[in-house]
Structure 1
Amino acid sequence: MKLPCQTIVWDVLPAIRAAIAEELVQLGVSQQEAARLLDMAPSAISQYLSKKRGYRIEFEDDVKVAIRSIAQDLSNGETESLPQRICGICTMLREPGPGCGHNCKSDSKN
């Protein structure tokens, strides 16, 4: 049995981080700076961008807008509320039902 929190930790959070990293790079932020802003290793950013990590979920438009907003704020130096905003995205994904089956689609082959 796979618990919803396992899905969040193993699939959803990496997908959110990957999407934020991708948005940051599209905004002209370097991978090194994206890593600093997201408090992670540059190698993790590289793996997110090359689809080696965090690629299993395709988000719906409302989540994409929230992710884009986070990336824009981070690129402008606004980092104070990052954990709460990422938690807000997880909440958006869970609200309609258990786990994240409503607003995201998993491509996982598990």
Structure 2
Amino acid sequence: MRPPCEIVVWYVIPSIRSELAKELLNLGMKQKEISELLDITQPAVSQYISDKRGHGIKFNDEVQELIKEFALDLKEGKLNQSGIISRICDLCRRIKTEDVVCQLHKEKDNIPVNCNACMGSQADHECH
């Protein structure tokens, strides 16, 4: 059985990156610029944009709006590396309060319905 933080690494963070890459592309940035900004490869950006990677989670409107704001701040150069990490972790924490990680954990690892390992919206551990 995988710990909940592994679910975050495999599903949540790639989904955040995917939505972020799409928003940056919509703002007129080129894939190479996006890759440099997010510190990932250009082929990874291409996979995120084409839904070959990071398409496992559908975010609610509130999270989607936060991602749009994040993309705009990135494009406008308002965030340094520390700010980028902080925003990703903020998004991750927000997503975890909506029990997304618990649902994925149960789905991907066949965890019993009454499991409380992720602690749902009570989760208070850091984004990894």
The bucket for the TM-score relative to the shorter chain is 0.7 to 0.9
Contact 1:35 1:45 in 2 (8 A): yes
In the alignment, the residues of structure 2 paired with residue 39 and residue 5 of structure 1 have an alpha-carbon distance, to the nearest angstrom, of 21
1:100 Cα deviation from its structure 2 partner: 5.2
Residue of structure 1 equivalent to 2:49? 49
1:6 Cα deviation from its structure 2 partner: 1.3
Letter in 2 for 1:93: I
If you compute each CA radius of gyration, which structure gives the higher value, 1 or 2?
2
1:49 Cα deviation from its structure 2 partner: 0.8
Distance change in 2, residues 1:38/1:88 (3 Å): same
Question: What per-residue deviation string (whole Å, max 9, x for no partner) do you get for residues 56-82 of structure 1?
Answer: 110001110111011001111122211
Residue of structure 2 equivalent to 1:12? 12
Q: Note the aligned Cα RMSD (angstroms).
A: 1.7
Residue of structure 1 equivalent to 2:95? 93
Identity of aligned residues (%): 39
Letter in 2 for 1:83: I
Larger relative strand fraction: 1
Q: Which runs of 5+ in 1 are unaligned?
A: none
Distance change in 2, residues 1:98/1:56 (3 Å): closer
Q: Which runs of 5+ in 2 are unaligned?
A: 109-128
